[in-house]
A = this chain, B = another copy of it.
Amino acid sequence: MPSYFSEIKPIGYQGPQGKDALAYRYYDKDRMVLGKRMEDQLRFCVAWWHSFCNVGKDIFGDGTFERSWNKASDPMEMAKLRAESAFDFFTKLGVKYYAFHDRDIAPEGETPKASLENLRAMVDVLGKYQASTGVKLLWGTANLFGNKRYMSGGGSNPDPEVFAFGAAQIKAAMDATKALNGENYVLWGGREGYETLLNTNLKQEVEQLGRLLTMVVEYKHKIGFKGAILVEPKPCEPSKHQYDFDVATLYGFLRRFGLEKEVKANIESNHATLAGHTFEHEIATAFAYDIFGSIDMNRGDPLLGWDTDQFPNSLLDTTLAMYTIMKGGGFTTGGLNFDAKVRRQSTDPVDLFHAHVGAIDLTAHALLVAEKMIQDGALEKIVKDRYQGWSGALGQDILGGKANLETLSKHVLDKNQDVRPVSGRQEYIENLLNRFLVD
């Protein structure tokens, strides 16, 4: 295979003392962490779109990246070059998973049929690369936001013909995902929202989305797709307001349509913060409601109000995410997708390596810290002790449904004295966390 990254050697593990910028210092695939190989615990995934389709445009400027794989004039030829470069990249990086939108891997054709043919052809190409490299598909999805027909939504479009178009596209993307043994199928609804309520029937659009997701679940079972169906919440952008605002909103939506056992959340860090939550809050909420699926690990800039999709660089933040995931039981079908793009000024192909190597290593480091935190148990003990009253008679009566307002009122009036609050010890706990980070 002629290499697109001929100047780059496969990224190896050198250990914490390693000096190479393009080597792992913490990501040691076979190291056992919390009962699994590190590679199996983390299930890293590269996002096709950001690394192989993105040319460095932003809303105020043209592309800045010169990518050898984007030089073909024929769209299908370019798709094949991208595939070649992508698997070359995955292999050199040593990552086992990738993820795509249908339109990332295969160009839209002149007609629906032509688009479908393009997709099928590229599925064959990708299948061969998967077989030869051992790289696997974490998830596929359908792009229902880029083409102008979807400007007012895919599933939530005011025109049922657009709904149908989107449904056909989803079917094809699910078929492709199944054909490539994808382990999940994702829906992100960037246009499933509105620009102004004045021209919008919110209630009907939510119903339409409920129908669409129901169809997806039914089709999954029909074709025997074994992966999980995931929905990725985001509050806004490109829409003024998106229906899948956050994990809690998604949960209510799933309950509304009886899908809470069938669909899980794909949680993105940057989407979490845009919605006013920490990443770990969204993860903890998903575990609390039993809909944790997968994550997109890309940081936002807390001072900017759009999706900056940056690679993670904070050990503190990444550790909080990994700790929350590991406490919740870790990944099953999901994984850790770097839905992140190099900065528009990071123009060279080598920057793709620096970005991924840094992010992988940071996450591996965070996992090791999380392991230490869990094995040490000090933090968990603090929490357990803080809630110990709930194991007592009063707590159990409340949780078990024996107590009611009257019995509790009687309890309080009989004691007839105030309750003393106990320090929450936040600063002590934050210091403790910092010890784990540096020890």
Contacts and interface: CB of A to CB of B under 8 A. Distances in A.
Given A149-B420, A249-B249, A426-B343, A315 B438 contact: yes
A303 interface: yes
Nearest to A307: B59
A105 to B, nearest CB: 18
A60 B197 contact: no
Contacts of A255: 252, 255-256
A276 B303 contact: yes
Nearest to A244: B248
Nearest to A385: B158
A224 to B, nearest CB: 14
Interface in A38-73: 56, 58-64
A419 B61 contact: no
Interface in A228-282: 235-238, 240-241, 245-246, 248-249, 251-253, 255-256, 273-278, 280-281
A421 B167 contact: no
Contact of A238 (B61, B172, B240, B276): B61
A202 B240 contact: no
A430 interface: yes
A424 B311 CA distance: 15
Contacts of A245: 246, 248, 276
Best-surrounded residue of A161, A383, A423 (most CB of chain B within 10 A) = A423
Contacts of A63: 148
A277 B97 CA distance: 36
A324 interface: yes
A146 B112 contact: no
A394 B306 CA distance: 36
Contact of A159 (B240, B304, B342, B419): B419
A417 interface: yes
A204 B411 CA distance: 22
A8 interface: no
B427 A342 contact: yes
A255 B433 CA distance: 35
A416 B196 contact: no
B304 A405 contact: no
Given A277-B303, A416-B112, A199 B426 contact: yes
A131 interface: no
B304 A426 contact: no
A348 B425 CA distance: 9
Instruction: Please state the number of chain copies in the assembly.
Output: 4
Contacts of A404: 215, 218-219
A343 to B, nearest CB: 5
Interface stretch (A29-37, A83-91, A351-359): A351-359
B427 A351 contact: yes
A437 B278 CA distance: 23
B324 A256 contact: no
A178 interface: no
A430 B21 CA distance: 11
A191 B368 CA distance: 34
A284 interface: yes
A324 to B, nearest CB: 7
A100 interface: no
Interface string A397-439: 0110101111011011101111111111111111111100110
Given A206-B288, A241-B303, 15 more contacts: A16-B438, A58-B238, A59-B238, A60-B191, A61-B148, A64-B151, A112-B418, A164-B398, A203-B288, A215-B404, A216-B405, A235-B276, A249-B249, A311-B430, A315-B434
In the A-B complex, list the 10 residue pairs whose CB atoms are closest, starting with the nearest. A305-B305, A252-B252, A302-B302, A345-B424, A358-B431, A255-B255, A168-B412, A203-B288, A167-B408, A355-B427
